[in-house]
Structure 1
């Protein structure tokens, strides 16, 4: 009964309690700082990794979901019961101070680079400061929740770099760049660890692309980034909708797909490897060919097994034999009425390999769309871009002091020191991290350099509410 009265059996309320959205050892840290500590400053950076630049995205989602609601007395009671039973001390006085003096809103200031900015690694991306002496430790207590921004940043970064790869092949082999936003489709919903991961990661992918089957990602992008419809999909077969007809009636299943969805201008995706891909390709090019042509739509064949690079080329060649092709302005061949979507074994390496093989064989990149699943939303982690959040300054009494770590066993984990900001050159777009000047505000300009960080959150208030359209524009402003 004690657990029930404190809400410890209500998992929904636990997950929405910001006091519990932390690591266990954080509960004891308020007792570990110097007794004269009165303010704290922390920052988030990517310390390098797979990519040399990161596309910043996702902080707005975290702030809206977790920081714009106040801490309540019931949350304090819930957290007190948990930490007491868990073996950790609990700063009840500190949390009650937040309720009584700040209306339950966390008195922290969060500054960040604008979402959609592409920033070289080893630069500050987010800063968190709390200058209330009673609860200065909040700047570090929030690390667990805030550092999870690594996930949408890393997904968005990977998708941005993949967009660059695909765009390069389109420029080389295609007359039509307008198809770029639909070239990498999100197939990742079933391969992630949770519905929240699907929402956050799926939304992050949509900074660079507009095709997705991850419903929760599209919903999240719409909701958190003020979009009417962030992404689109098309009717598509799965193996069960084909194999339920039986092997002997596979052609009937294919014909049904065209009958149901094949309309002028429409796109219909049909998985075709349920039994024998090559027999299916033959059927598409003979007895089903006229139905495809009469529909006025575009048939997209999905081979879903075999070596991706080899299978894509074999599929393209078979379809070209049946449906023919035209040579575009880049001297590459574009299939008539049909395309291929590769959704098996798709990752950054295979995308590059498939596009290179197609180009070598004379096929335009127009002929293929990629569907990326686990490698898009799940085969990354915090170390992909080596994200960290560290305290870099503490105020003792009235004076700020630098804080840093510098382990002799790993120079790569050396942290930055001081109260930091990120500057951007107004002419070149170059970024550099520096310490805040004594007389500083967000309009400070030093010659050609201006502050790239803006205050996005302060004491419970979201101060910047960006749209996905604005973020997309920033991310791809210099694509040409």
Structure 2
């Protein structure tokens, strides 16, 4: 990011906190958790991207000068001596250690996900100073990855109930969210968080993030697809020619092409164009046509579209007793898609004996933008300080909201006898394994995960047949 100043990636009030700790404070230890919210478990993701992008570059004298100028004009204190100490004694690298669970790990909410502590007692104030940047770097991609995985669970359940195979699962939810995201960086890290669970995306910035931060040469795949402008540019009286051109340009040889078909009259497009004038070409092209209805009530539109296509092109009965369209034609719903509508559509299809194999989904703002820190109630809180050589517990316990009670002490994440993850005080760990591992210390990345390892931990199986189909 051009002109990035790490000292100023902070909330204003943080700049005065170095003056607020008890005299003799040496170390401050803080942790990050999801306190609850919409989901019961979190897919931890995104920390490595933040470390590589922002923590592995040292601060400079110019950063300090700019920060002093901004803070002074802004009306808040500036700890110039502290930042100059970091520049002179640590070469500008932040003297902190970050521990975290491996990315992709599924952790029940209300458990520690990451823990931060300063490594130089002169920089006790630094742990909480980085909260603004670090918490944002974790809550957003973790929330997107978690929601995406919840969608995967829904789709997988219906495939297991109504389809002969779940091989196509990695391509059942496609990321349509780039244009609805608040920034390129949001689209990149959110889009990559989705790809922890699926392999379909139209968010190219996510692919770049995968290459840059997780050693993923190609994290996702897409296909040629139409938009309304490319269809309506032909004019209403040449709608069939617009569709025919899509089949000519991109059909055949096992290729997949998606065509939005509601520009004027979806039912006419299905009945009289795809199922009439172009029926023979659709059947014999040698690829797969994916019809995209893009307006109306999603549940009604998808089930009706599938039903009409089955009446025109036929269907087979699979081993589960559900109807499946021929391989040369499928449906993708990309309008109004959310966890709620995915469940509703698939339930309605099941009731009509339509296999979930007939449909895929495209999810936009619901996937990348309609989440916030409170979706999973994320927080970063101090839990221990060392003052004059003695450790103290630090916690909050507001009587007005017990849900905001924070944890005490230096923490560890381990497993119970039944394999369930839970948080304990580090001093009570005994001989159990601590899943929190140091990933960053004093400017250096200590563990460099690949995207494949993240996917494996998140429970995303490799499906080479699906990859071949998409490619």
Same fold (TM > 0.5): yes
432, 437, 449: which one aligns with 1:454: 437
- Retained in 2: the 8 A contact 1:54–1:157? yes
Give 1:474 shift: 0.9
Q: Does 1:412 align with 2:403?
A: yes
Give 1:286 shift: 1.1
- Retained in 1: the 8 A contact 2:196–2:460? no
Q: Does 1:106 align with 2:103?
A: no
- Retained in 1: the 8 A contact 2:162–2:350? yes
275, 293, 297: which one aligns with 1:303: 293
Q: Does 1:331 align with 2:321?
A: yes
1:314 counterpart residue number: 304
* Residue deviations 1:174-193 (CA, integer Å, cap 9, x gap): 11211000000000000011
Once residues 287 and 386 of structure 2 are traced to their aligned partners in structure 1, the CA distance between those partners, rounded to angstroms, is 66
* Residue deviations 1:408-459 (CA, integer Å, cap 9, x gap): 111111111111111124x643111111128xxxxx763xx31111000000
Structure 2 residue runs of 5 or longer lacking an equivalent are 464-471
Once residues 478 and 177 of structure 1 are traced to their aligned partners in structure 2, the CA distance between those partners, rounded to angstroms, is 10
- Retained in 2: the 8 A contact 1:154–1:384? yes
1:166 counterpart residue number: 155
**Closer, same or farther in 2 for the Cα pair 1:414/1:318, shift >3 Å?**
same
- Retained in 1: the 8 A contact 2:100–2:437? yes
SS of alignment partner, residue 264 of structure 1:
coil
Once residues 155 and 361 of structure 1 are traced to their aligned partners in structure 2, the CA distance between those partners, rounded to angstroms, is 31
Once residues 176 and 430 of structure 2 are traced to their aligned partners in structure 1, the CA distance between those partners, rounded to angstroms, is 44
SS of alignment partner, residue 407 of structure 2:
coil
SS of alignment partner, residue 437 of structure 1:
helix
Once residues 338 and 85 of structure 2 are traced to their aligned partners in structure 1, the CA distance between those partners, rounded to angstroms, is 49
TM-score by length of 1: 0.94
2:446 counterpart residue number: 463
1:243 counterpart residue number: 232
SS of alignment partner, residue 52 of structure 2:
helix
1:27 counterpart residue number: 15
45, 48, 58: which one aligns with 1:60: 48
Once residues 383 and 180 of structure 2 are traced to their aligned partners in structure 1, the CA distance between those partners, rounded to angstroms, is 37
Q: Does 1:186 align with 2:175?
A: yes
Give 1:274 shift: 0.2
Once residues 38 and 360 of structure 1 are traced to their aligned partners in structure 2, the CA distance between those partners, rounded to angstroms, is 63
1:292 counterpart residue number: 282
- Retained in 1: the 8 A contact 2:180–2:364? yes
Once residues 386 and 466 of structure 1 are traced to their aligned partners in structure 2, the CA distance between those partners, rounded to angstroms, is 26
Once residues 476 and 247 of structure 1 are traced to their aligned partners in structure 2, the CA distance between those partners, rounded to angstroms, is 46
148, 151, 158: which one aligns with 2:140: 151
- Retained in 2: the 8 A contact 1:38–1:131? no
Give 1:263 shift: 1.5
348, 364, 386: which one aligns with 1:373: 364
Once residues 239 and 131 of structure 1 are traced to their aligned partners in structure 2, the CA distance between those partners, rounded to angstroms, is 56
SS of alignment partner, residue 450 of structure 1:
coil
SS of alignment partner, residue 233 of structure 1:
coil
1:4 counterpart residue number: none
SS of alignment partner, residue 176 of structure 1:
coil
Q: Does 1:138 align with 2:126?
A: yes
SS of alignment partner, residue 123 of structure 2:
coil
- Retained in 2: the 8 A contact 1:445–1:451? no
SS of alignment partner, residue 35 of structure 1:
coil
Give 1:222 shift: 2.2
SS of alignment partner, residue 238 of structure 2:
helix
Once residues 12 and 216 of structure 1 are traced to their aligned partners in structure 2, the CA distance between those partners, rounded to angstroms, is 17
173, 192, 205: which one aligns with 1:203: 192
SS of alignment partner, residue 78 of structure 1:
helix
Give 1:477 shift: 6.8
Once residues 211 and 163 of structure 2 are traced to their aligned partners in structure 1, the CA distance between those partners, rounded to angstroms, is 31
* Residue deviations 1:28-74 (CA, integer Å, cap 9, x gap): 11011112111110000000010000000110011111101011111
Once residues 125 and 367 of structure 1 are traced to their aligned partners in structure 2, the CA distance between those partners, rounded to angstroms, is 38
1:8 counterpart residue number: none
SS of alignment partner, residue 122 of structure 2:
coil
Structure 1 residue runs of 5 or longer lacking an equivalent are 1-10, 439-443
Structure 2 counterparts to residues 345-384 of structure 1, below 5 A = 345-384=336-375
Once residues 143 and 197 of structure 1 are traced to their aligned partners in structure 2, the CA distance between those partners, rounded to angstroms, is 18
Give 1:478 shift: 9.3
TM-score by length of 2: 0.96
Structure 2 counterparts to residues 215-230 of structure 1, below 5 A = 215-230=204-219
1:50 counterpart residue number: 38
Once residues 204 and 461 of structure 2 are traced to their aligned partners in structure 1, the CA distance between those partners, rounded to angstroms, is 29
- Retained in 2: the 8 A contact 1:40–1:131? no
